[in-house]
Structure 1
Amino acid sequence: MLKHLEREDNLGEIKKGKKVLVDYFATWCMPCKMLSPILEEVAEADKEVTIVKVDIDEFEQEAVMAGIRSVPTLVYYKDGKEAKRVSGVHTKEEILEIINKY
């Protein structure tokens, strides 16, 4: 499942899920735009993972609290704990490898 974080969402609660990939992005970021369709493919390939897109300009506080220094940054949470953090554009296969490794 792929969703955009909304104001009424609680990112802390979402991250407690079994398999959660958070994509910190910005609308003005070209690499972020390149990553977006790849994340859609990942969501199709692994129905168990929840992918949450967080706009760092709209949710600045959440990005600061997560220690995000560049976009795009992907943070993978397994059973509520951060398992892996990567920055930049990655292939579908690389992202699925991260998800399946942990």
Structure 2
Amino acid sequence: MRPEEAAVKEVTTASFEQDVLNADKPVLVDFWAEWCGPCRAVSPILEQIDGETEKLDVVKVNVDKEPDLAMRYGITSIPAMKLFQGGEVVHELIGARPKPAIEQELAQYL
């Protein structure tokens, strides 16, 4: 797989409704920033999860580029991952975690 294929889709304010709120399956939104070390640590884990399951989509929102989305969803610390299902937040994970911990948190929604 080429690196550009592995990358998780970047979502903006303009595409958020279509990519997340109107999605036909659960979407895990990773709120992150380039300067955030823990965000960079969790990013490859989320790319793996995205590539390993068809039951869930993983997307990223850069809080520095999309402050309105960060404010709308109450992001006060990053990395913050919110699982959306049917246009609503159904679960939230705050902070970097190892892959098994993230998968365990998401298991009940998949």
The bucket for the TM-score relative to the shorter chain is: 0.7 to 0.9
Q: Does 1:68 align with 2:75?
A: yes
Out of 5, 8, 26, the residue aligned to residue 33 of structure 2 is 26
Q: Which has the higher helix share?
A: 2
- Listed as ranges, the gaps of 5+ residues in structure 2 are 1-5
Question: Secondary structure of the residue that 2:84 maps to in structure 1?
Answer: strand
RMSD (Å) for aligned C-alpha atoms: 1.7
Distance of 2:103 and 2:90 partners within structure 1? 13
Q: Is the 8 A contact 1:3 1:53 kept in 2?
A: yes
1:69 is displaced (CA, Å) by 0.3
2:94 maps to which residue?
A: 87
Q: For 2:55, give the aligned amino acid.
A: E
1:6 is displaced (CA, Å) by 4.1
How high is the TM-score relative to the length of structure 1? 0.88
Out of 55, 63, 77, the residue aligned to residue 62 of structure 2 is 55
2:17 maps to which residue?
A: 12
| Alignment: residue pair count | 101
Distance of 1:73 and 1:45 partners within structure 2? 21
1:97 maps to which residue?
A: 104
Q: Is the 8 A contact 1:42 1:95 kept in 2?
A: no
Calculate percent identity across the aligned residue pairs.
30
Question: Secondary structure of the residue that 1:43 maps to in structure 2?
Answer: helix
Deviations 1:14-63, CA, capped at 9 Å, x for gaps: 22322100000010000000011111111122122111110000000110
Distance of 1:75 and 1:8 partners within structure 2? 18
